[in-house]
Chain A
Amino acid sequence: MKKTPLYSLHQKHGAKFVQFAGYEMPIQYETGIVKEHITTRNNSGIFDVSHMGQLFLKGGDELTNDLQKIFPIDLEKISINQSKYSFLMKENGGIYDDLIITKLKDGYMIILNAACKDSDLNILKKKIGEKYQIDLSDNLSLIAIQGPKAKDVLESIVPGVIKLKFMNGNQFKYKELDIYITRSGYTGEDGFEISINNKIVESFVEKLIKKGSTMIGLGARDTLRLEAGLCLYGHDLDENTSPIEANLKWAISKSKINGKFPGSEFIKKQYNEGVSKLRVGIKPETKVIARESTKIFDEKDNEIGKVTSGTFGPSVNGPIAMGYISNDFSKTNTKIFLEVRGKRVPASICEMPFYKKNYVRGGEDNVRN
């Protein structure tokens, strides 16, 4: 089982560990998931996401041209230090992985899911051959700091980060080493992701804690992302689900609809003609939690879909879920029934996110919501 460089710091903070994608990761610390969730929403929280893949591709315009044939995002339209949410597409229109791609001065940085990173690397190597230097970094950690106070905490350690716009990054210094920070995250909060050398990551995180931030485990990361309506790969997205079915049409560049990338003919067809199933938000009417794989029925007892993520949302103070449903039932407020422990629980289709901040974020619109 692999460990991240912050393992002993997690232990020091009373972490309970779980195995996740081959890593021993903290699911929660002493205070528990609900308190960690609320702390992130009201203050700020630190997440060790070093298990995720940090892939670096070196190259110039030719690399951009080659990547245009791989990703459904128009990479010619993004500027240096700008990040976009995208997918590594399968030929059938399904998704090998969802990712964040950032244009750098000398190439691209791609943040990949931990469970997919090795196979993603192989897929990319096959597609663009040995033409470019392509590496999954193992000397870099990845830390997220999220929440309304994240900007002040981080600014006090790394001056200038406050000027970053949403989904934009830049190079900064810590202890004379380069660190790369983007204003992004996966909690529905303002925040940052910090790519930082393994040698200095512990000292860096200890400093964030000293400035008032708190370590948050994967348990709260899951409740935060679900409240924000964001997908978890392997649950809400997979190799047999297209971005259009996942209701992530916005992440496909309009200029790429008629372009060529793996699965593009399926995407074009679904984009123009619609889909038979769609990812939707689901709000149970009682306090019952509908977990992953819960079957969804209509009033006439026909099975019409399946829950892919479901939990208790601490900020919503009730159960929330998302899942795939036959398109005829995907309209907001449609009544549905969830089968939990043999009983039918009434629920309705609702808009996502389940939880939204009532203040405006700095910089660009939040393109992921």
Chain B
Amino acid sequence: MSEIKFSKEHEWITVDGDVATIGITKHATELLGDIVFAELPEKGSSVNKDATAGVVESTKAASDVYTPISGEVVDTNQSIVDDPSKINSDPEGDGWFFKLKIKDQAEMNTLMNRDEYDKFAKENAS
């Protein structure tokens, strides 16, 4: 498993071979508050880097979930649709959203490492 990477849209991504797992960051869940609804991309569909690939809703508002890289959706986490609170309780674990078969490994280089993301999140918090 590779190092975890992060996008400016507050998604995290880990890579295992040619498959990436994607979810939203702890920082994002803290901004959203209690998540009560999650919508996932369709299995088998192709998604392009930075395109909408899902939706999360808190009691307050709806937010899009973007994919940090391009690829084909090979798996989705139905358990967060049934129990969206998993996204709050374990955003980087049980609260993952979908897995992609990576189209272009080079896209990974555009993303931040944890230190860079933490700094980015802090600067954009206010």
Interface residues of A, Cβ cutoff 8 Å to B: 16, 27-28, 32-35, 219, 222-223, 287-289, 291, 311-312, 314, 319, 341
A-B contact pairs, 16 of them (CB 8 A): A27-B60, A32-B34, A33-B33, A219-B33, A219-B60, A222-B59, A223-B59, A287-B37, A288-B39, A289-B37, A289-B62, A291-B61, A311-B59, A314-B36, A319-B37, A341-B55
The DSSP consensus for interface residues of chain A is: mixed
Which residues in A have their C-beta under 8 angstroms from that of B60?
27, 33, 219
Q: How far is the CB of B90 from chain A (nearest CB, A)?
A: 15
B window 33-73: CB within 8 A of A: 33-34, 36-37, 39, 55, 57-62
Which residues in B have their C-beta under 8 angstroms from that of A33?
33-34, 58-60
In the bound assembly, the distance between CA atoms of A222 and B36 in angstroms comes to 15
In the bound assembly, the distance between CA atoms of A291 and B81 in angstroms comes to 19
Q: How far is the CB of A221 from chain B (nearest CB, A)?
A: 11
Which residues in B have their C-beta under 8 angstroms from that of A312?
36-37, 57, 59
In the bound assembly, the distance between CA atoms of A35 and B89 in angstroms comes to 14
Interface residues of B, Cβ cutoff 8 Å to A: 33-34, 36-37, 39, 55, 57-62, 81, 85, 88
In the bound assembly, the distance between CA atoms of A311 and B81 in angstroms comes to 16
In the bound assembly, the distance between CA atoms of A314 and B62 in angstroms comes to 16
Whether A28 touches B33, Cβ cut-off 8 Å, given contacts A219-B60, A311-B59, A341-B55, is yes
Which residue on B lies nearest to A34, using beta carbons? B34
Which residues in B have their C-beta under 8 angstroms from that of A222?
59
Which residues in A have their C-beta under 8 angstroms from that of B36?
34, 289, 312, 314
* Among candidates A16, A219, A289, residue contacting B57 with C-beta atoms closer than 8 Å: A289
**Contact: A288 with B33, CB < 8 Å?**
no
Which residues in A have their C-beta under 8 angstroms from that of B39?
288
Query: What are the 8 A-B residue pairs with the smallest beta carbon separation, nearest first?
Result: A312-B36, A34-B34, A33-B59, A32-B34, A289-B57, A33-B34, A312-B59, A289-B37
Which residues in B have their C-beta under 8 angstroms from that of A32?
33-34, 88
Whether A291 touches B59, Cβ cut-off 8 Å, given contacts A32-B33, A34-B34, is no
Report which residue of A28, A288, A289, A291 has the largest number of chain B beta carbons within 10 angstroms of its beta carbon. Answer: A289
